[in-house]
Structure 1
Amino acid sequence: MGTAVDGGPLTQLSSFVGRTDEMVELSRLLHGVRLLTLTGPAGVGKTRLALELAGQEQRSRHCEVIVVKLATLTHIDQIRRQILIALGEPAEDGVPRAPRAAPYANESERLLVLDDCEHVLDECGLMLSELLPSHPYLRVVATSREPLRLPGEAMFSLSGLALPDVDGDSSLSECLRSDAVLLFLDRARTVVPDFQLTQENARHVGEICVRLDGLPLPIEMAARLIRVFPPAEVRARLDDRLSLLTNGWRLADQRHQSLRASLQWGYDLLNPAERSLLRGLSVLPGGFGFDTAAAVAADGSAAEPGTSELLIALSVKSVITPYTDQDGPARFRLLESMRGFGHERLVAESEDTETYGRLVTWLTQLSEPLHRETFIQPAVLRHLAAEHGNLAHALHWLIPGTDERQLLLAGALATVELSPGPADDTLTLLSHILDRGIESSPYRSVALECAAALAGRQGDYGTAMRYAEQAVELERGYGRDPLLSRLLLLRSALHETHGDQGSAVADLRECLKIGHRLRDETLTALCRVGLARYQLLNGELGRAEQVIEEFLPLLRMRVPPRWLHAVLVTAGALALEKDDLPTAEAYFTESLRGPAEHTRGPADALQGLAIVAARAHRFERVLQLIGAAEQIGPPASWGDAWWRERVNAARSAALKALPPNRAGASLEAGHAMRHRHVLAFALGSQATGATAEDSDGLLSKRERDVTALVVEGLTNRQIAARMHVSVRTVETHIRHIRTTLGLRSRAHIAAWAAERRTAAVRPAVSPPSPGPLAEAAPLVWVSTAGADRSSRSRELRGVRRIG
């Protein structure tokens, strides 16, 4: 049997839940290296996993296991003496050898577990650099919040247990597949034996595990509170988790007896500069890159060269966690418990006011283009979107006061929410800020603009127009043409939504004059194409086509996909009016090919494809596309009756041509499609010219990489090792891939990828070169259209963010 020093026997008294893939990978790693270090944040379960691994090695009789706990040791002589005693080696002070265990098949093979090395890294390094060369059959497993950084060391980084998706409708089934929830259940039943996961409490339990980042230590503490509180109350009390989670095992190390003590242990190991940065980062619930971290650092200098080194150090020490499942610049986050601890220390040091001030200044700088430029560049929007959580947090900190910057930050928050869909309370928040009496701020027009867009998207035309009118009048007073032109485009769209063609055209013409005055080619092109839209609606096809052909090359080069979408749909509509079906289909398809985040609500393009399919007598596809369009959201405004007449004609033709059961099944199949599965369906037809690359565009680069490894037959653990990410990240990617493509299993993912490879060798139909193009979309496009669902007619209203 193995030997344990200062740690008790290897056999644990509580059950071991989850970590199946980790155990497989660690066992493989352990037989290929001599020093394996398990790293990870406080409470992630490094010690328990190391002991389980050691126990597995012991049971398989691979080696003798020796455990040395270092939590209470601080000096190299203490560490050397303890390890030598455990190994049965002669100690320098004459301490006798420890009794050896019963002989093994290979008696010289031994596994030494060094637990809790983070506070004595140098001492452990010195000891191991002497011990390993002189003991060729000795292997070492160390646990630490950061690696030892020794030659030959293999590092295995642990993250939280697999979490459920609590946002969906299947909370119970999701929770039952989550290791984090299974651990919660196991520990809850030790205090309440008949505790069950039900449809009613599953979401609460899942949210507890999510808010605790899947970390076993706080999850176990929260689970034991079930004896006193129901799951809903435990979840509600997690805002004060540092005071709540104090019920660790009685005989555990002091730092494992409460969540606060566990976090304090790691905090005390940081140097003063690292502690200061950690406190500053606690005001960033939305994550951060190097620039944002530098902005909230103590000196507030975004050019501070030391911030990068400090962030790297905090990452190595498992204090901050890198986002591993996104493309683009590196970003990090604080786990929620660590952020709460850091914020508590920030307040205790009286640094909160200055730190929030630096954050607001930084976000204001990012948001300035909203009131200075006509068209917001995609890079600015991406940057603001990355800071979405921090915008909301800073805004709520500002609201009690009268700082005018809250108007600009509220506008920025609404701007980034308009594309994926605003939160329900965003318009309420904006309205509250606008009603606070900050009348003379130059930022007020931005807040009014976004409030108008949100109200229009919700179908509240009166409120939307009131805000838009106020914004236009304010900007006319300021004489700032760039923002005024954007507001006129918005108001024109609002007028069109409610059939006031004269006012819509008047606003476009005023905007066109501003474009000429500013010598802004892009603005001029957008206004000219916008006016050409009305020529199309009025049957002036030749004039509309002439304008569109003139400005298409410029717009294709200068506008991002979300703006080009509406333009291409109008081009497709013009081709339909000329009965040029291949060209129309190519334009509608092209409008769907933009990046996934730019194609929310492409119902108009789907309806256009349905009209094309009807004229080509593909009637099942007609109803599937119409059903999908109804499910995905409102199309852009098309003079209302003009476009609806064509869509309804396509629907009627399909219903007449198909037996009722097939027609109903096709329509319901469209209704049942998820958003990105809709795009895969629309782009999947050879007739649309979609290639394998089009369908792959629905997945991120990392999702495509995961798909390729699934095709190779790799397990989640193997994929994680290959990509240097956690197993939980791989699980998240696979769930996203299945959701995006409407697939049910890994086998279906592999089959889908094989089909794409086959399709990639087929010749693809290219969209036409510069040809009929559509009305250019301003920053905000207002939409309202009607469409039948089954045999009922309903009116769809909303605002879609194009810029």
Structure 2
Amino acid sequence: MTGVAEPVIRTPDQRIRVFVSSTLRELADERRAARAAIEGLRLAPVMFELGARPHPPRALYRSYLAQSDVFVGIYGASYGWVAPGEEISGLEDEYRLAPPGMPKLIYLKSGSEREERLEALIDRIRTDDTAAYLSFDAPEDLAARIAEDLATLLAERFDQSRAPASAPGAPATSLAARVPVPYTRTIGREGDIAAVRDLLERAEDRVISLIGPGGIGKSRLAIESALAVDDLFPDGTYFIALENVLEPALLLPTIAYALGIRDNGEAALEERLSLALAGRRVLLVLDNFEQIVDAAPVLVRLFTVAPLARFLVTSRIVLRIRGERVFEVPPLVAPADGAPATLERAGMSSACALFVDRAVAAAPGFVLTADNAGAVMDICRRLEGLPLAIELAAAKARMLSPQTIAERLGQALPLLTAAVRDLPERHRTMRATLQWSVSLLTPPQREMLEDLGVFAERFTFDAVEALGAGRTWGGEALEALGALVDASLVKQTDVAGRGVLSLLAIVREYAIGRLKERGEADLMRAAHADYYHLLVQRLAPQLRGTGQAAVLPELGLQLANLRAAIRHLVYTGRLDDAADFAWEMLIYWWIMGLFGGVRVWMLELLAKDEPITQRSRATAWFFALWGELWQRPAQEVVAGLGEVARLFAESGDDDASAMAFAARATARVQLPDPDIDLAERELRDAVERLQKVGNPWAEAITRVSLGRVAWLRGSIDDALAHLERASAIAETNGDRFTLSIAGNQRGRLLIVRGAVDEAEDVFVTTLMQSVRLHHEEGVAYGLEGLCAVAAARDDAERAGELSAAAAAIRHRVGVFDVEAFTVHALSLDEVRSRHPEQVAAGEARGRMLTLAEAVSRALPETEGAAAADALAHW
């Protein structure tokens, strides 16, 4: 593998992406082995789930390859399918499209009688000095070879990854990376991007609304504009998708989730958001706002308390709030009526340029010529320059000539637009084009597209297969899905090395509309909810123990559909199932801070005033009272949680009853004038109940509350005993979340005791647990604890640095409810009184650290390396 400049392998701060190419069904076991080997090295496998196909996905896997670092080819006997009109298979196409300097690891299955064209491809590979190839016998043999070869490759390239951050080509660390990266080229929007940038730069308006019909390119313009103004917003750019947010009350929870702010019920979410945005120059991109336009006044409240924040909104309708500047998103420039049908005229149109670009992606041999220029101009003129409509038409270039596409549009569009006269003109054109594109599918493919309308945001092929049971397309899910991708009706992207699927908002809207017309919307919503409920029943129990860290990212990937499943259950009247679903996910809502959204659905459930079980009523009231417990503690809340415990007990759920009883005791501690003796007795009673039902997770959390009560009493010995017991239970059961909470409390008490070395060990452990759980609040607490350790050792600069880094995290995620028992501030004040200049110097450095840098500075070298690896997966 010599002869070319070797690309830098990015490690450990960014995950290395390994593109895997193979035939799909022939080598299914080998693909699974390859994925396991790659993930075992904590790298990201990039696997094209729909298999090797040489048409429209070419643009997608070209993008995958462009963003990958290593190419792995696994070849058996088959050359792969060659689509009609193509000359090579997707297998060879992927190899050809791999960048010339990309390292290529090729694995040949022994004992296979290879097809002639595959042998020719392998002969070509043998002459490629960027490729290494080996044979293997079985999947387990393949896994071992891949792991060994990737490890060797990393070792060879590691030194090259040590370039200084300012070096050309160094990876950007801006939060603009949160903005989706387009997988296709943006055409004809240069002037619009410049105009949006100008509006944001002038800072005269707080909300810039990109307004236009579906399919005109509002989201793409918002994405490109956000990427173009990164320099104007040094504190971050966030892209917040709202297409699946249907309740106005969920706007704040959705924004908070994107900003990393947990809604654990302990403080009003709007207050946390206000603190997180105060003094920060950030851009929040809110995409598809039209369905929750009633929530627009919330933006006014937010920008009133956060004057440096700006909001870029996409919507089909104007928000009509103060501070809003409307930018009407224009269509692309289409040829004027009567313009000469010449190659030169077509080249002057951005609409025609888009058609040609997407037609080439669909049919690589496509060329704009004098013969077809008139037809392309006619297509773009008929479609009024609407980008999505043009893309849908261009996707047919693989099968139809531009002249045929223009002819068919000319026949279909007038009839289709006449059928939707109640829509504005461009809405009619877009809807008609969508219907025309769908009409070219087979009946099973059309049914599949309509069925996919029940999914929210991104979804997996496993979920699609599950929904296909009993459907006409169920036996050909892979092929049907491939056809929808080819038609640009389904998009495929990559999340952490995993292929996921999605529908554009307007396609989803069309699909669910057709489902309703067929009278099958509720049927498919039920199937969707059943699949995700089964998923939760399988995964949620692991949240109580050793599977916690592994399950959290999996549930995070599925979050939009988990929320949609609860919504479907409530909407279709399956209220008991909705309550069960919500309760099974209790620990997930708690760890991730997602109580706000669940509370909205549980209150909706109660408002339906339909028959439900006692257990369901108890569940709904538990979520409704949780925020009240922390934010507005009162005797009514204590009584309400007591009633919840009774309802759970009478329904036969002693586990849930014990948890509700513990919550009641905790609520009693929060009262303005608490009866500490009664609260302690009830907490001890709750511990006994939880032990009896075998719920160590809730027992550990309740013992943390007992420790806090003992601390309030001034009994450090008792407090430490409770917290040590809570930590032991959490550690035994692999419960990293509770281990972090209990550990931070223990560490503070140990600092008070003067046991500095022991406290340091505890805070290092809790910081590592928080990093592994992607729990930023816990990271802040851990940094504060190690600040106190540094202050106790008179290391003034380090104490100041860690304190400022923790304060920056608190500010960003809106954590202002500082623990009453905190000790780091007192320790810092003490060392500041002796070394004010050193503390100030440390604080200046700490304010400039990223979270990863702060964690690295806080931890010993061995733990720091493990933390860096974990942070690379955030």
TM-score (norm 2): 0.50
Q: Percent identity?
A: 18
Partner of 1:568: 743
Q: Structure 2 residue aligned with 1:343, among 496, 508, 512?
A: 512
Q: Structure 2 residue aligned with 1:296, among 439, 442, 467?
A: 467
Partner of 1:433: 605
The answer to whether the Cα contact below 8 Å between 2:744 and 2:781 also exists between their aligned partners in 1 is yes
Inter-CA distance 516–169: structure 2 relative to 1 (3 Å threshold): closer
| 1:525 shift after superposition | 5.7
Equivalent residue pairs, number = 529
Q: Structure 2 residue aligned with 1:491, among 664, 675, 678?
A: 664
Q: Structure 1 residue aligned with 2:316, among 223, 233, 236?
A: 236
Determine the C-alpha separation between the residues in 1 that align with 2:776 and 2:83. Answer: 53
The answer to whether the Cα contact below 8 Å between 1:407 and 1:443 also exists between their aligned partners in 2 is yes
| Correspondence 1:603-642 to 2 at 5 A | 603-633=780-810, 641=820
Amino acid paired to 1:434: L
Determine the C-alpha separation between the residues in 2 that align with 1:611 and 1:430. Answer: 42
| 1:625 shift after superposition | 3.3
| Correspondence 1:85-164 to 2 at 5 A | 123-125=84-86
Amino acid paired to 1:325: V
Q: Structure 2 residue aligned with 1:277, among 445, 448, 452?
A: 448
The answer to whether the Cα contact below 8 Å between 2:539 and 2:551 also exists between their aligned partners in 1 is no
SS at match of 2:458: coil
SS at match of 2:457: coil
Q: Structure 2 residue aligned with 1:251, among 354, 359, 378?
A: 378
Determine the C-alpha separation between the residues in 2 that align with 1:480 and 1:626. Answer: 45
**Residues 1:334 and 2:498 aligned together:** no
Partner of 1:712: none
Determine the C-alpha separation between the residues in 2 that align with 1:357 and 1:573. Answer: 49
Determine the C-alpha separation between the residues in 2 that align with 1:457 and 1:299. Answer: 48
Q: Structure 1 residue aligned with 2:490, among 303, 320, 332?
A: 320
Inter-CA distance 435–371: structure 2 relative to 1 (3 Å threshold): farther
SS at match of 1:324: strand
| Correspondence 1:115-514 to 2 at 5 A | 123-125=84-86, 183=187, 185-186=189-190, 197-199=198-200, 200=205, 204-205=209-210, 211-212=219-220, 235-237=315-317, 251-252=378-379, 255=393, 259-260=430-431, 263-264=434-435, 267-268=438-439, 270-297=441-468, 299=470, 307=477, 310-311=480-481, 314=484, 319-326=489-496, 330-367=499-536, 375=544, 378=548, 384-397=555-568, 399=570, 402-404=573-575, 405-409=577-581, 416-422=588-594, 427-438=599-610, 440-441=612-613, 442-456=615-629, 465=638, 468-498=641-671, 500-514=675-689
Determine the C-alpha separation between the residues in 2 that align with 1:182 and 1:215. Answer: 10
The answer to whether the Cα contact below 8 Å between 1:384 and 1:412 also exists between their aligned partners in 2 is no
Inter-CA distance 545–369: structure 2 relative to 1 (3 Å threshold): same
The answer to whether the Cα contact below 8 Å between 2:536 and 2:585 also exists between their aligned partners in 1 is no
| Correspondence 1:11-90 to 2 at 5 A | 39-40=56-57
Amino acid paired to 2:522: T
| 1:565 shift after superposition | 0.9
Determine the C-alpha separation between the residues in 2 that align with 1:324 and 1:431. Answer: 36
Amino acid paired to 1:684: R
Determine the C-alpha separation between the residues in 1 that align with 2:744 and 2:751. Answer: 10
Inter-CA distance 291–461: structure 2 relative to 1 (3 Å threshold): farther
| 1:698 shift after superposition | 0.9
Deviation per CA, 1:177-202, whole angstroms, max 9, x where unpaired? 9999974643659xxx9887411498
Inter-CA distance 413–335: structure 2 relative to 1 (3 Å threshold): farther
Bigger CA radius of gyration? 1
Amino acid paired to 1:321: K
| 1:484 shift after superposition | 1.6
| 1:679 shift after superposition | 5.3
| 1:527 shift after superposition | 5.0
The answer to whether the Cα contact below 8 Å between 1:181 and 1:206 also exists between their aligned partners in 2 is no
| 1:355 shift after superposition | 0.9
Determine the C-alpha separation between the residues in 2 that align with 1:614 and 1:543. Answer: 26
The answer to whether the Cα contact below 8 Å between 1:180 and 1:214 also exists between their aligned partners in 2 is no
Deviation per CA, 1:397-445, whole angstroms, max 9, x where unpaired? 5556654144445667886454444486664554343344357432232
SS at match of 1:354: helix
Deviation per CA, 1:558-579, whole angstroms, max 9, x where unpaired? 1332222112223323432442
Amino acid paired to 2:444: A
Deviation per CA, 1:247-306, whole angstroms, max 9, x where unpaired? 86652267368545664565445443333222211111232224432343362799x775
Amino acid paired to 1:236: R
Determine the C-alpha separation between the residues in 1 that align with 2:196 and 2:704. Answer: 64
Inter-CA distance 368–446: structure 2 relative to 1 (3 Å threshold): farther
Inter-CA distance 298–273: structure 2 relative to 1 (3 Å threshold): farther
SS at match of 1:285: coil
| Correspondence 1:1-16 to 2 at 5 A | none
Deviation per CA, 1:10-60, whole angstroms, max 9, x where unpaired? xxxxxxxxxxxxxxxxxxxxxxxxx99662499x999xxxxxxxxxxxxxx
Determine the C-alpha separation between the residues in 2 that align with 1:637 and 1:502. Answer: 25
| 1:448 shift after superposition | 2.5
SS at match of 1:279: helix
Determine the C-alpha separation between the residues in 1 that align with 2:477 and 2:630. Answer: 41
Determine the C-alpha separation between the residues in 2 that align with 1:626 and 1:206. Answer: 44
Inter-CA distance 371–452: structure 2 relative to 1 (3 Å threshold): farther
Deviation per CA, 1:67-98, whole angstroms, max 9, x where unpaired? xxxxxxxxxxxxxxxxxxxxxxxxxxxxxxxx
Amino acid paired to 2:515: L
Q: Structure 2 residue aligned with 1:601, among 773, 777, 780?
A: 777
| 1:315 shift after superposition | 5.2
Determine the C-alpha separation between the residues in 2 that align with 1:185 and 1:286. Answer: 25
Deviation per CA, 1:485-507, whole angstroms, max 9, x where unpaired? 22233334333444553344233
Computed over aligned residues only, the root mean square deviation of the Cα atoms, in angstroms, reads 5.3
Determine the C-alpha separation between the residues in 2 that align with 1:380 and 1:169. Answer: 25
| Structure 2 residues without counterparts, runs of 5 or longer | 1-51, 63-80, 93-115, 125-173, 225-310, 320-329, 335-350, 353-376, 383-392, 395-408, 410-428
Determine the C-alpha separation between the residues in 2 that align with 1:607 and 1:260. Answer: 56
The answer to whether the Cα contact below 8 Å between 1:371 and 1:446 also exists between their aligned partners in 2 is no
Inter-CA distance 458–600: structure 2 relative to 1 (3 Å threshold): farther
SS at match of 2:379: coil
Inter-CA distance 340–615: structure 2 relative to 1 (3 Å threshold): same
Amino acid paired to 2:564: H
Inter-CA distance 682–467: structure 2 relative to 1 (3 Å threshold): farther
Inter-CA distance 394–592: structure 2 relative to 1 (3 Å threshold): same
Determine the C-alpha separation between the residues in 1 that align with 2:866 and 2:211. Answer: 36
Amino acid paired to 2:731: R
Determine the C-alpha separation between the residues in 2 that align with 1:517 and 1:36. Answer: 57
Amino acid paired to 2:620: A
Q: Structure 1 residue aligned with 2:865, among 664, 670, 692?
A: 692
TM-score (norm 1): 0.53
The answer to whether the Cα contact below 8 Å between 1:508 and 1:527 also exists between their aligned partners in 2 is yes
Determine the C-alpha separation between the residues in 2 that align with 1:238 and 1:300. Answer: 40
